[in-house]
Structure 1
Amino acid sequence: MGAHLPDSGFYDPNSEPVSTAQTDIFSVASVLYAILTGYWPYRGPGTVKTGEEMEKYGQEVDDLFGRRQFPNIDGLFAGEVIIKCWKNEYARADTVL
């Protein structure tokens, strides 16, 4: 486990601001989602152009994740794994895959 917390979209805003195995598992879900879809959770294709745009994205995704609303994973390879990671249904990383 690293000593730093992930950015919005890769971090559960309902969690304590401490790096834990659950933090890493939640992040893995967002990384897998980004790899499989080509973009971050709740963000379309393209790069972030300004700090203001990144801040707005962070607020929006933190709000959605904070309300336990996650992107649609229907038909996505490993979608069930991703959603279980986001919902903190795995206690340990070695049970994810």
Structure 2
Amino acid sequence: MAQQPAGRKGRCQHIPGKENQQKDGVLKSVEEICEATWKSVYKFIYYKVQNREEAEDITQETYVKAMANIPGEAYSPKNIELFLKTVAFLHLLPRYLSA
């Protein structure tokens, strides 16, 4: 079973100017996206790398890459989660190709 990330406080920093309300299950702010998807994205990555520290680093890098490419529109949590897992997989792909 995947280890849980060590404390979620501070993982999803509030970004000024991104305050929007969540309506009808639609995520609008970076903080909402992170809070709604962090656990499942971390578990996905941990399953692949089997190392807590490495999984946390890759999860953080995944969010940095993904947030740079998410347009300012609102998305459902499931769509964002799938997008983040795709970004994580593409980040991990060279590891498997070189092995």
TM-score in terms of structure 1 length? 0.34
Higher helix residue share:
2
Question: Which structure has the larger Rg over C-alpha atoms?
Answer: 2
Q: Tell which has more relative contact order, 1 or 2 (C-alpha 8 A, sep 6+).
A: 1
